[in-house]
Amino acid sequence: MTDFRIRRAGRRDLTGIVARWSELMAAHQALDPVLYATAEHAEGTYRAFVRRHFDKPDSVILVAVDAAGGGVLGYLVGGGGQRAPMFVVRRVGMIFDLAVQPDQRRAGIGRALVDRALEHFRERGMAYAQVNFDPHNPDAAGFWPRLGFETLLCEAYRPL
């Protein structure tokens, strides 16, 4: 089991973050090759998406790294989200992406990243965190309920 530590990401981590994101996308493409098909330059687009979050005050970009030195074993990107103005609970902490390197899973890295992000959101006065996940993804479907997340809405698609 790799000894890991969680820290805030820096721009030097972007390549490792994108590598973990690509694994996450490959797993999703196996679930639905059409709706998860990525456009040309998707990795560059994702890199720019993460980069923008470095400058947003409510955002949080975390990496899990090998404590002995080494690359990004896992990462999380989160930020402030707004629910519709009719609701009392409006500002929520959004977890946009979370992924752990396949050979490092089930060793507490995902939980440690989420715990740190929840702390970040609490410090900013948010009372809820939200994540969107594919219920057909067995990792996500097993993981999020273990961390106390309860499903409220489902996103549904049909071809036209």
Ligand X SMILES: CC(C)(COP(=O)(O)OP(=O)(O)OC[C@H]1O[C@@H](n2cnc3c(N)ncnc32)[C@H](O)[C@@H]1OP(=O)(O)O)[C@@H](O)C(=O)NCCC(=O)NCCS
Tell me if residue 123 falls in helix, strand or coil: helix
The sign one gets for the Cα dihedral 6, 81, 58, 52 is: positive
Q: How far is the CB of 123 from ligand X (least distance, A)?
A: 22
Residue 80 vs 108, nearer CB to ligand X: 108
| 106 binds ligand X per the rule CB under 6 A | yes
Of the candidate residues 111, 122, 124, 136, the single one contacting ligand X (CB under 6 A): 111
Distance set, CA 120 to CA 78, 94, 123, 151 (Å): 10, 11, 5, 22
Using CB positions, name the residue nearest to ligand X.
142
> According to CB under 6 A, which residues from 8 to 47 bind ligand X?
24, 27
Binding mask of the shown chain, residues 115 to 154, with x at each position contacting ligand X by CB under 6 A:
----------------x-x---xxxx-xx--x--------
72-82, strands of its sheet edge to edge = 4-8, 60-66, 72-82, 91-100, 129-131
HSE-CB for 12 with a 13 A CA cutoff: 5
Q: How far is the CB of 27 from ligand X (least distance, A)?
A: 5
* Contacting positions for ligand X (CB under 6 A): 24, 27, 98-100, 105-111, 131, 133, 137-140, 142-143, 146
